Amino acid sequence: MRAAAVQLGAPVVLVGAAGALGAFVSATNEIYFVTALIQVSTVVAIYVFVGNSGVLSFGHISFFAVGVWAAGVLSVPEQEKPATMPYLFDFLSSTTVGNVPSLAIAAVVGGAFALVVGLPLMRLSGLAAGIATFAVLGITNNILRYYEKIGPGLNTFSSVPETTGLLQATVGAVLVIVAAFAYQRSRLGRQLRAAREDPAAARAVGVSIYRQRLASFALSGFLAGFAGGLYIHFIPINVDAVYLDLTFITLAMLVIGGTTSLWGAVVGALFVSALDSVLAEMEDGMTILGHTIDLPVGSRIVVVSAVMALVVIVRPSGLTGGREFSLPRLRTAGAR
Amino acid sequence: MSFLRDALDLQVQVDAVGLGAIYALMAVGIGLVFGVMRLVNFAYGQLIMAGAFALAFASDRDWPVAVGIALCFGVVLALSLAMERVVFRPLRTQSAAVMLIATFAVAFLLQSIALLWFGPLGKTATSLVQLNRPVEIGSVEIRKITIVAIVTAVVCLLLLVALLNRTALGLHMRAAAIDSQTARLLGVRANLVSTASVLIAGALAAVVAVMLTVQFPTVTPTFALQDTILVLAGVVVGGMTRLLSATLGGFLIGYVSGILGGALPSEQSQYLPSLVFGLVILVLLVRPDGLFTRGRGLVERV
Task: Return the minimum-mean-pLDDT range out of B21-35, B90-104, B232-246.
Answer: B90-104
Q: Indicate the residue of B105, B240, B278 with minimum beta-carbon distance to A308.
A: B105
- pLDDT the model gives residue A332: 55
Chosen for mutation from A239, A294, A312 (greatest number of chain B CBs closer than 10 Å) is A312
All residues of chain A having their beta carbon less than 8 Å from the beta carbon of residue B220 are none
Q: Given an 8 Å threshold on Cβ–Cβ distance, is A301 in contact with B115?
A: yes
Average pLDDT for residues A199-212, to the nearest whole number? Answer: 92
Residue of A nearest to B110 (CA): A302
Residue of B nearest to A308 (CA): B105
DSSP secondary structure string for all residues of B131-183: GGSEEEETTEEEEHHHHHHHHHHHHHHHHHHHHHHHSHHHHHHHHHHH-HHHH
Buried b (16+ CB within 10 A) or exposed e, B149-172: bbebbeebbeebeeebeeeebbeb
Q: Given an 8 Å threshold on Cβ–Cβ distance, is B288 in contact with A255?
A: no
Q: Is the pLDDT of residue B205 over 70?
A: yes
Nearest to B150 by CA among B258, B24, B66, B235: B24
The answer for residues whose C-beta is within 8 angstroms of residue B270's C-beta and 6 or more apart is A142, A145, A146
- pLDDT the model gives residue B296: 53
Residue A318 domain-assigned (yes or no): no
A306 has a chain B CB within 8 A of its CB: yes
Average pLDDT for residues B232-244, to the nearest whole number? Answer: 88
Question: What Å distances lie between residue B97 and A67, A83, B103, B271, CA to CA?
Answer: 27, 46, 10, 30
- A/B interface, count of CB pairs below 8 Å: 117
Chosen for mutation from A119, A125, A139 (greatest number of chain B CBs closer than 10 Å) is A139
**Region B2-286: CATH code:** 1.10.3470
CB A265 within 8 A of CB A51: yes
Residue of A nearest to B230 (CA): A135
Task: Determine the structural domain holding residue A136 and report its residue range.
Answer: 2-240
**A281 CA: distance to closest CA in chain B (Å):** 17
Q: Indicate the residue of A54, A131, A299 with minimum beta-carbon distance to B233.
A: A131
Virtual CA dihedral for B20, B52, B73, B188, nearest 10 degrees? -60
B269 has a chain A CB within 8 A of its CB: no
Q: Given an 8 Å threshold on Cβ–Cβ distance, is B240 in contact with A200?
A: no
Residue A41 domain-assigned (yes or no): yes
Q: Encode pLDDT of A230-261 as tens digits.
A: 999 999 999 999 998 899 889 889 988 988 99
Looking at this predicted complex, what is its ipTM?
0.87
Domain boundaries, chain B: 2-286
Chosen for mutation from B109, B228, B260, B283 (greatest number of chain A CBs closer than 10 Å) is B109
Q: Which amino acid is at B282?
A: L
All residues of chain B having their beta carbon less than 8 Å from the beta carbon of residue A305 are 105-106, 108-109, 112
Q: Given an 8 Å threshold on Cβ–Cβ distance, is A251 in contact with B104?
A: yes
Helix (H, G, I), strand (E, B) or coil at B205: helix
Separation of alpha carbons B44 and A166, rounded Å? 41
Give the single-character DSSP code of A159.
S
Task: Return the minimum-mean-pLDDT range out of A100-114, A220-234, B123-137, B214-228.
Answer: B123-137
Express as a percent the part of chain B with pLDDT over 70.
Answer: 96
Q: Given an 8 Å threshold on Cβ–Cβ distance, is A127 in contact with B40?
A: yes
Q: Is the pLDDT of residue A122 over 70?
A: yes
Q: Given an 8 Å threshold on Cβ–Cβ distance, is A124 in contact with B104?
A: no
Q: Encode pLDDT of B183-192 as tens digits.
A: 888 888 888 9
Residue A336 domain-assigned (yes or no): no
**A294 CA: distance to closest CA in chain B (Å):** 14
Q: Indicate the residue of B105, B115, B271 with minimum beta-carbon distance to A252.
A: B105
Nearest to B53 by CA among B72, B26, B79, B77: B72
- pLDDT the model gives residue B83: 93
Residue A6 domain-assigned (yes or no): yes
All residues of chain A having their beta carbon less than 8 Å from the beta carbon of residue B46 are none
Cross-strand pairs, B141: B136
Chosen for mutation from B41, B108, B282 (greatest number of chain A CBs closer than 10 Å) is B108
- pLDDT the model gives residue A329: 63
CB A59 within 8 A of CB A133: yes
Q: Is the pLDDT of residue B299 over 70?
A: no
Q: Encode pLDDT of B158-204 as tens digits.
A: 999 999 999 999 999 988 888 888 888 888 888 899 999 999 999 99
Residue A57 domain-assigned (yes or no): yes
**B272 CA: distance to closest CA in chain A (Å):** 9
Average pLDDT, chain B: 87
Q: Given an 8 Å threshold on Cβ–Cβ distance, is A312 in contact with B91?
A: yes
Average pLDDT for residues B145-150, to the nearest whole number? Answer: 88
The pTM (predicted TM-score) of the whole model is: 0.90
Helix (H, G, I), strand (E, B) or coil at B219: strand
- pLDDT the model gives residue A331: 55
All residues of chain A having their beta carbon less than 8 Å from the beta carbon of residue B229 are 134, 138
- pLDDT the model gives residue A330: 58
- Which of A120-134, A292-306, B259-273 is the most confident on average? A120-134
Q: Indicate the residue of B108, B229, B288 with minimum beta-carbon distance to A128.
A: B288
Average pLDDT, chain A: 90
Q: Given an 8 Å threshold on Cβ–Cβ distance, is B271 in contact with A201?
A: no
Q: Given an 8 Å threshold on Cβ–Cβ distance, is B284 in contact with A128?
A: yes
**Residue A300 belongs to what H/E stretch?**
helix A299-314
- pLDDT the model gives residue A91: 85
All residues of chain B having their beta carbon less than 8 Å from the beta carbon of residue A142 are 270-271, 273-274, 277
A203 has a chain B CB within 8 A of its CB: yes
Question: What Å distances lie between residue A253 and A39, A263, B3, CA to CA?
Answer: 9, 12, 45
Q: Given an 8 Å threshold on Cβ–Cβ distance, is B300 in contact with A199?
A: yes
Please write down the HEC assignment for all residues of A19-57. Answer: HHHHCCCCHHHHHHHHHHHHHHHHHHHHHHHHHHHCCCC
B298 has a chain A CB within 8 A of its CB: no
Average pLDDT for residues A159-185, to the nearest whole number? Answer: 94
Chosen for mutation from B79, B112, B220 (greatest number of chain A CBs closer than 10 Å) is B112
A89 has a chain B CB within 8 A of its CB: no
- pLDDT the model gives residue B301: 43
Q: Given an 8 Å threshold on Cβ–Cβ distance, is A121 in contact with B281?
A: yes
Residue A106 domain-assigned (yes or no): yes
How many structural domains is chain A composed of? Answer: 1
Q: Given an 8 Å threshold on Cβ–Cβ distance, is B94 in contact with A316?
A: yes
Nearest to B286 by CA among A203, A53, A135, A121: A121
Q: Indicate the residue of A120, A127, A143 with minimum beta-carbon distance to B96.
A: A127
